[in-house]
C-alpha cells in the first residue's frame, strides 16, 4: 500500500496562508474535525502535531510542524470521513474552504503542492478498508454493483459489505426488501436505501444542484477533456457556461492511469490530476459543473435549444456543445454482467491494483490503454497476460509501451479472444479462449475500444453509420465543428473524424468557443 503522504509547507507559504486565514491554538485531545462534519477549514500547522484516524480509531497519518491537513473532499465539499485530533499543543492557521479555493487560483506553487498531496492522499485512502461510505448488498444485486461502480468511478473511499459473508452486514439489511437494497451508510451516521447516483452525491455534499430550469449561453454536455476545454475557454471569455456530466468529471482521460503524451507534462500526468486541475481551472473562471446529470433529449430551437435531463431538469441554452465522448465496448460473452465490477473491470486504478496483487490477471486489448493497465497491474505485483486479436501489437500500440510490457514481465498472447467465463457469484476462476485454451485468470480487464455516447440524440443531429456526430461540410454546416443544427456543436471523441486523444479533444473544445462567440454576436438583438 502507498505510504501516507506527509508534505510540508515552506515558511513563505505559511506566511501567505496566515494572510488569508485565522491563527488558532488547540490543546492535546481537541478535535479539529470529525467524521460526518459537513465541512472543515484547511489546517496548516505552524507548530504542533495532529493525528488523523478512521472510524475505528486507527491512525492513518500524523502531521507535524509545517504539515497540513486535508484531502480531495476539501475541494469537492464531500462530507468529512476522517477525524483529526491534536496530539501535541498546536498552533495552526485555519483557512476557510472558499478562501483556500480562491488562493489556489492565484498561487501556482501552493496549488501544485496542495493539489498533488490531496490527490495522493485520496489514492491512498481508496486502498484502505473501513473508510468512507459502506455499501451493503449481495454480489448478485445489479443495483448494488451499480452503486459500487459509481463509488469507484467517483473515487469515493468505500467498503462493500456482503451480507452472505459478514454477519454485521446481514443484520443491517435483514429487515429490508429487495427494492431497498443496497443500503448505503454515510460517514457520521445517515443511511440511504437504494439511492440513485445523484441522491448519493447530494447526500455526501458533492456537486451542484441544478434548478428545474436553467438558462445559459453555452451548455456543455459531457465533462471529459473536450467539455472541460470548452468550459475553461468559454467561462474565461465571459460566457455563462454550464457543464453537465452523467457520471464523473474527467471522462475517459480521468480514468487513465498516466497520460504520457499530453503537452507540458514531460514526466506524464495521472488522469485524476489532469481532470482535477482542469475542473479547478474551469471553476476559477466561473464555469458551473453539475454531476451526475445526464442529457436525455435535445430539442433544437431558434434562439434557445432545450436539453432535458434524466433527473427531470431542463436547460435552455443559446448554444450547445455535444462532448459526450465514447464508452468502452463489451465483448459478446455469456454472463459478463455477473462478473462486472467484481472480477471484470474496464479501468485499472488503485483499488483494482490493490485487489490484483499476486493474482493471475488477463488484460484484453491491443491498444495503448490496455498496455497502460497491464503495466500498472504488473507493477502492483499481479501476474499479467495481455491478450489481443492481431498477429502483432506494433500495428495498434506505441513502441514505448510494447517495451514497457517486456520490462515489467507482462506475457503477451496474440490472436486470442475470450469465448467463455467460468466462476461463481461473480468471482472469476478461469476463461476459455475461442481456440479452446483455458487460462486461470482471477481478474479480467477489458480494453476493446469504444462506441460514441450519442444514441440519446436519435436523429436530431446528423450522425455517421457508427453513431459519431457529423460536423462541418459533412453535416452541411458552415462552421468546422458545427453539427447539422446551427448553434449545436460537437467536439472530441463523439465527433466523426476526430483524433481520439486528450490534447485534440481539449483543442476542439476550446475552438468551439470561437464559433459560439461568432454565433451569439450575430444573433438578432431580440434573441440575446
Residues that bind ligand FAD (CB under 6 A): 221-227, 244-247, 251-253, 255-256, 259-261, 294-295, 323-326, 368-369, 372, 453, 456, 492-494, 500-503, 505
If phi over 0 gives left and psi between -120 and 50 gives alpha, with beta otherwise, what is residue 346? alpha
Nearer to ligand FAD, 294 or 305 (CB): 294
Nearer to ligand FAD, 95 or 370 (CB): 370
Nearer to ligand FAD, 47 or 400 (CB): 400
Q: Rounded to 5 degrees, what angle do the CA atoms 42, 59, 207 make?
A: 40
CB of 221 to ligand FAD, least distance (A): 5
CB of 10 to ligand FAD, least distance (A): 33
CB of 362 to ligand FAD, least distance (A): 16
Nearer to ligand FAD, 90 or 247 (CB): 247
Of the candidates 280, 290, 284, 293, the residue with the CA atom closest to the CA atom of residue 207 = 290
Nearer to ligand FAD, 182 or 222 (CB): 222
CB of 503 to ligand FAD, least distance (A): 6
CB of 239 to ligand FAD, least distance (A): 18
CB of 388 to ligand FAD, least distance (A): 15
In angstroms, the Cα distances linking 193 to 81, 154, 175, 241 are 20, 19, 12, 34
CB of 92 to ligand FAD, least distance (A): 38
CB of 197 to ligand FAD, least distance (A): 11
Residue where the block lists cell 490493490: 354
Rounded distance between C-alpha atoms, residue 451 and residue 449, angstroms:
7
Nearer to ligand FAD, 287 or 502 (CB): 502
Of the candidates 248, 258, 200, 174, the residue with the CA atom closest to the CA atom of residue 79 = 200
* Pair type for strands 133-136 and 158-161: parallel
Q: Is the link from the previous residue into 182 a cis peptide, with omega within 30 of 0?
A: yes
Contact 359, 385 (CB under 8 A): no
Nearer to ligand FAD, 32 or 397 (CB): 397
Q: What would the grid cell of residue 274 be?
A: 489532469
Residue 511: CB atoms within 10 A of its CB come to 19
Nearer to ligand FAD, 223 or 426 (CB): 223
Residue 98 burial (10 A CB sphere; 0-12, 13-18, 19+): exposed
Nearer to ligand FAD, 83 or 247 (CB): 247
Per-residue HEC secondary structure of 74-138 comes to HHHCCCCCCEEEEEEEEEEEEECHHHHHHHHHHCHHHHHHHHHHHHHHHHHHHCCCCCCEEEECC
Stretch (H or E) spanning 350: helix 350-356
CB of 149 to ligand FAD, least distance (A): 13
Rounded distance between C-alpha atoms, residue 481 and residue 491, angstroms:
7
490, β-bridge pairs: 322
Amino acid at each position: 500500500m502507498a505510504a501516507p503522504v506527509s508534505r510540508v509547507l515552506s515558511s513563505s507559504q505559511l506566511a501567505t496562508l496566515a494572510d488569508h486565514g485565522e491563527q488558532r491554538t488547540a490543546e492535546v485531545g481537541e478535535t479539529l474535525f470529525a467524521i460526518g462534519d459537513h465541512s472543515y477549514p484547511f489546517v496548516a500547522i505552524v507548530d504542533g502535531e495532529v493525528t488523523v484516524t478512521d472510524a475505528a480509531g486507527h491512525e492513518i497519518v500524523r502531521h507535524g510542524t509545517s504539515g497540513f491537513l486535508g484531502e480531495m473532499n476539501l475541494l469537492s465539499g464531500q462530507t468529512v470521513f476522517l477525524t483529526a485530533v491534536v496530539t501535541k499543543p498546536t498552533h495552526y492557521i485555519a483557512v476557510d474552504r472558499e478562501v483556500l479555493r480562491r488562493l489556489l487560483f492565484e498561487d501556482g506553487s501552493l496549488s501544485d503542492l496542495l493539489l498533488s498531496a490531496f490527490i495522493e492522499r485520496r489514492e491512498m485512502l481508496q486502498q484502505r478498508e473501513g473508510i468512507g461510505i459502506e455499501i451493503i448488498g449481495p454480489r448478485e444485486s445489479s443495483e448494488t454493483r451499480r452503486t459500487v461502480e459509481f463509488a469507484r468511478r467517483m473515487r469515493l473511499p468505500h467498503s462493500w459489505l456482503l451480507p452472505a459473508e459478514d454477519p454485521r452486514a446481514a443484520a443491517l439489511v435483514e429487515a429490508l426488501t429487495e427494492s431497498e437494497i443496497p443500503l448505503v451508510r454515510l460517514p457520521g451516521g445517515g443511511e440511504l436505501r437504494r439511492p440513485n447516483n445523484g441522491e448519493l452525491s447530494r447526500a455526501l455534499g458533492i456537486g451542484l444542484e441544478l434548478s428545474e430550469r436553467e438558462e445559459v449561453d453555452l451548455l456543455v454536455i459531457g465533462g471529459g477533456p473536450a467539455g472541460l476545454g470548452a468550459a475553461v475557454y468559454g467561462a474565461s471569455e465571459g460566457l455563462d457556461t454550464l457543464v453537465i456530466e452523467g457520471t464523473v468529471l474527467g471522462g475517459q482521460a480521468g480514468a487513465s492511469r498516466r497520460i504520457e503524451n499530453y503537452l507540458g507534462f514531460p514526466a506524464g500526468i495521472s488522469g485524476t490530476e489532469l481532470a482535477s486541475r482542469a475542473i479547478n481551472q474551469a471553476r476559477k473562471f466561473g464555469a458551473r459543473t453539475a454531476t451526475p446529470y445526464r442529457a436525455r433529449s435535445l430539442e433544437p430551437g431558434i434562439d434557445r435549444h432545450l436539453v432535458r435531463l434524466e433527473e427531470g431538469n431542463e436547460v435552455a441554452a443559446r448554444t450547445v456543445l455535444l462532448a459526450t465522448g465514447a464508452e468502452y465496448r463489451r465483448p459478446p460473452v455469456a454472463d459478463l454482467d455477473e462478473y462486472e465490477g467484481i472480477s471484470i473491470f474496464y479501468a485499472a486504478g488503485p483499488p483494482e491494483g490493490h485487489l490484483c496483487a499476486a493474482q493471475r490477471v488477463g488484460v484484453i486489448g491491443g491498444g495503448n490503454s490496455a498496455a497502460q493497465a497491464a503495466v500498472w497491474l504488473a507493477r502492483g505485483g499481479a501476474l499479467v497476460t495481455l491478450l489481443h486479436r492481431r498477429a502483432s501489437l506494433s500495428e495498434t500500440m506505441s513502441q514505448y509501451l510494447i517495451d514497457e510490457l517486456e520490462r515489467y514481465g507482462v506475457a503477451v498472447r496474440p490472436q486470442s479472444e475470450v469465448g467463455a467465463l467460468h466462476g461463481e457469484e461473480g468471482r472469476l476462476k478461469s476463461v476459455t479462449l475461442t481456440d479452446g485454451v483455458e487460462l486461470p485468470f482471477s481478474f479480467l480487464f477489458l480494453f476493446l475500444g469504444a462506441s460514441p455516447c450519442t444514441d440519446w440524440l436519435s436523429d436530431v443531429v446528423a450522425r455517421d453509420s457508427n453513431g459519431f456526430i457529423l460536423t462541418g461540410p459533412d453535416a452541411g454546416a458552415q462552421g468546422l465543428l458545427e453539427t447539422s443544427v446551427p448553434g449545436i456543436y460537437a467536439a472530441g471523441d463523439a465527433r466523426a473524424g476526430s483524433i481520439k486523444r486528450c490534447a485534440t479533444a481539449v483543442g476542439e473544445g476550446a475552438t468551439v468557443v470561437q464559433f459560439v462567440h461568432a454565433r451569439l454576436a450575430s444573433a438578432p438583438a431580440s434573441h440575446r
